[in-house]
């Protein structure tokens, strides 16, 4: 049985939602091992033995560890074609992978600069600057995704759920944590609320127990 190491609210929500989709298409079961990132569980000796980089997601397949969102999603897509995790038509598929790569290598990384500036700068002043600068970038990137959400039908690639949807949902939850009110991204917010009612995403959210709207207005 496959086992996903998942941090509630983290990017491992992407493979989690894909696995829930595969549960539906192929009737498979899988295990979820929660990793509490805020408690540093990703740095325990036990976890580092599986992933020396100390990050989620990690998928154990027959006891063998696989890391990186892109690789895990690619593996699930090839192994479970009935789930249609990516479009079949070659150009549409390449475009979806292109957006997924941008999500993973740019939007995700921008948020990491806001949430964990200590990974990128040493002094308090430099960390504050890294945070400020990347918050402005993150807003811009979410604006671009708001444009994609305006065209969602109902998913970002059309009528099939894809990893893009799970990533987009994750970013909107991160937006709230970064102090961005998700309702200020109107197309995005409407699209994500609808996405949350799609059964595999609904199950992944129930396992995750992190709300869609994490924004707390300043008192």
Ligand X SMILES: N[C@@H](CCC(=O)N[C@@H](CS)C(=O)NCC(=O)O)C(=O)O
Contacts with ligand X, residue ranges (CB under 6 A): 7, 10-11, 37, 42, 54-57, 68-69, 104, 112
Of residues 25 and 112, the one with the C-beta less far from ligand X:
112
* Burial class of residue 24, CB neighbours in 10 A (0-12, 13-18, 19+): middle
Of residues 122 and 153, the one with the C-beta less far from ligand X:
122
Of residues 163 and 182, the one with the C-beta less far from ligand X:
163
Q: Least separation, in Å, of the C-beta of 73 and ligand X? A: 9
Q: Least separation, in Å, of the C-beta of 10 and ligand X? A: 4
Of residues 118 and 197, the one with the C-beta less far from ligand X:
118
For residue 200, give every residue at least 6 positions away whose Cβ sits within 8 Å of its Cβ, in sequence order, or none.
17, 20, 21, 23, 24, 161
Q: Least separation, in Å, of the C-beta of 123 and ligand X? A: 20
Q: Least separation, in Å, of the C-beta of 153 and ligand X? A: 27
Tell me the Ramachandran region of residue 9: left when phi exceeds 0, alpha when psi lies from -120 to 50, beta otherwise: left
Q: Least separation, in Å, of the C-beta of 1 and ligand X? A: 21
Of residues 37 and 192, the one with the C-beta less far from ligand X:
37
Nearest partner of 194 among 186, 14, 24, judged by Cα: 186
């Amino acid at each position: 049985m496959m086992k996903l190491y998942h941090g509630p609210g983290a990017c491992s929500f992407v493979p989690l939602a894909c696995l829930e989709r595969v549960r539906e298409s192929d009737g498979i079961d899988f295990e979820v091992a929660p990793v509490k990132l805020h408690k540093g569980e990703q740095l325990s000796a036990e976890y580092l033995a599986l992933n020396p980089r100390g990050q989620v997601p990690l998928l154990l397949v027959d006891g063998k560890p696989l890391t990186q969102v892109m690789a895990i999603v690619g593996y699930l897509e090839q192994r479970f074609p009935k789930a249609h995790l990516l479009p079949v038509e070659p150009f549409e598929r390449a475009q979806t992978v292109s957006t997924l790569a941008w999500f993973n290598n740019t939007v995700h990384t921008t948020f990491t600069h806001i949430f964990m500036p200590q990974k990128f700068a040493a002094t308090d002043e430099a960390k504050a600057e890294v945070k400020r600068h990347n918050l402005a970038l993150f807003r811009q990137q979410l604006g671009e995704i708001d444009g994609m959400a305006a065209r969602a039908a109902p998913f970002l690639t059309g009528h099939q759920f894809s990893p893009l949807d799970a990533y987009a949902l994750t970013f909107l939850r991160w937006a709230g944590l970064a102090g961005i009110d998700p309702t200020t991204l109107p197309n995005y917010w409407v699209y994500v609320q609808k996405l949350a009612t799609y059964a595999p995403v609904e199950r992944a959210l129930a396992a995750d127990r992190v709300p869609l709207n994490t924004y707390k207005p300043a008192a």
